[in-house]
């Protein structure tokens, strides 16, 4: 199977940050996109991705109920069944080098050992039935925190396997979640249009209100300075909250009708955001306040999550059953 290489031309547009206009321009560092169709006998419903420790890439197969593993060297795809009724949303790599998934169908956090592929489910307690599990992150002490769109935030203590759940402030909406370099855990509410910080001792969350009302915070990610970047689905903005200064900044994603879905910050503190409205990826440089655009060669790629490793930004195309990477080094 031959990969498809493409780098879309960068377009000269303008974007707005805190009321100021600034141009897009060519980045000094060239980057290239490479894509593969998933070689499977069934439609997987690829949703999220996570680099695996063996050089492969995991993905959550939400439609078929599997953990997927993709080998970029050969194009081979493997599917590991998670159990009857499984419908995984998110996947991340744990400190134990295993794959950890948020599985809404099983209403459980699922661990898949690697490379033994042993599957273990950590079921949510009775007070969190039908949590509609979304995404997860590991804190600075090695515990896993997760969100449920039906209004819960919870933790799996890895040493004991205990699962605890707290009701989210204002109910429905918890979506993206991330950890800062200092180990603090932040999450965002799509329905509530806010971000929140978790007290890791109590599990309770404190809301931080953004200046843009009804912005639809979908995903969050931390940079190396502990600043929280937010993809605002409804406002079309990429925003940033600085907890140490208690400040906010926002930049409109280029295009006529931007729909920022996922956000990720790479090892160089470049901010990546996927845009459903323009069928594109953008790389944002916070220093120069400029966007660089990477278009997809297929319509409606619909990248719902972004993760990477040094020199690579991995993208699950949920709308096309492809997996893509932008190589930056």
List pLDDT tens digits, range 225-272: 999 999 999 999 999 999 999 999 999 999 999 999 999 999 999 999
CA dihedral sign of residues 211, 212, 215, 221: negative
Share the mean pLDDT of the chain: 91
Residue 68 and residue 82 in contact, taking contact as beta carbons nearer than 8 Å: no
Q: Is the pLDDT of residue 324 over 60?
A: yes
Q: Is the pLDDT at 309 greater than 70, yes or no? A: yes
Res 25: pLDDT: 38
Predicted local distance difference test score (pLDDT) of residue 127: 86
Separation between Cα atoms, residue 145 and residue 154, nearest integer Å: 6
Angle, vertex CA 278, rays to CA 317 and CA 233, nearest 5: 80
Average pLDDT on 85-89 reads 98
Summarize the confidence of residues 286-310 as an average pLDDT.
97
CA distances from 1 to 19, 46, 71, 92, 252 (A): 47, 19, 12, 27, 38
- Is residue 104 predicted with pLDDT exceeding 60? yes
Would the pTM of this model clear 0.85, i.e. be above it?
yes
pLDDT at 24: 37
Write the Ramachandran bin of 107: left for phi over 0, alpha for psi from -120 to 50, otherwise beta. Answer: left
- Rounded mean pLDDT of 203-211? 97
Q: What distance in Å separates the CA atoms of residue 296 and residue 316, rounded to the nearest whole number?
A: 12
pLDDT of 329 over the 50 cut: yes
Percent of the chain scoring above 90 in pLDDT: 89
The arithmetic mean of pLDDT across residues 79-96, rounded, is 98
Average confidence (pLDDT) over 191-201: 97
Per-residue pLDDT, 244: 96
pLDDT-derived band at 30, boundaries 50, 70, 90: confident
Share of the chain above pLDDT 70, in %: 91
């Amino acid at each position: 199977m031959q990969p498809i290489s493409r780098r879309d031309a960068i377009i000269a547009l303008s974007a707005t940050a805190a009321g100021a206009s600034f141009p897009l321009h060519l980045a000094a560092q060239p980057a290239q996109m490479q894509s593969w169709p998933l070689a499977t006998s069934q439609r997987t419903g690829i949703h999220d991705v996570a680099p695996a420790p063996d050089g492969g890439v995991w993905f959550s197969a939400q439609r078929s109920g599997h953990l997927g593993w993709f080998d970029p060297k050969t194009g081979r795809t493997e599917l590991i069944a998670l159990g009857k009724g499984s419908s995984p949303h998110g996947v991340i790599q744990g400190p134990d080098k295993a794959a950890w998934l948020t599985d809404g169908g099983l209403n459980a956090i699922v661990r898949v050992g690697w490379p033994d592929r042993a599957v273990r489910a950590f079921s949510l307690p009775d007070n969190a039935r039908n949590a509609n599990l979304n995404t997860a992150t590991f804190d600075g002490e090695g515990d896993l925190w997760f969100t449920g769109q039906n209004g819960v935030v919870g933790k799996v203590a890895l040493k004991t396997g205990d699962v605890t759940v707290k009701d989210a402030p204002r109910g429905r909406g918890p979506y993206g979640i991330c950890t800062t370099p200092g180990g603090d855990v932040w999450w965002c509410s799509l329905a509530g249009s806010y971000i929140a910080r978790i007290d890791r001792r109590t599990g309770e969350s404190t809301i931080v209100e953004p200046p843009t009302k009804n912005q639809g915070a979908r995903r969050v990610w931390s940079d190396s300075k502990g600043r929280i970047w937010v993809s605002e689905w409804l406002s079309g903005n990429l925003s940033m909250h600085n907890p140490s200064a208690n400040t906010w900044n926002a930049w409109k994603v280029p295009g006529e009708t931007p729909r920022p879905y996922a956000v990720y910050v790479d090892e160089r503190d470049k901010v990546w955001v996927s845009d459903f409205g323009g069928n594109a990826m953008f790389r944002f440089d916070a220093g120069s306040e400029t966007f660089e655009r990477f278009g997809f060669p297929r319509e409606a790629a619909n990248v719902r999550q972004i993760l990477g490793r040094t020199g690579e930004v991995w993208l699950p195309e949920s709308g096309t059953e492809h997996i893509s990477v932008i190589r930056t080094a």
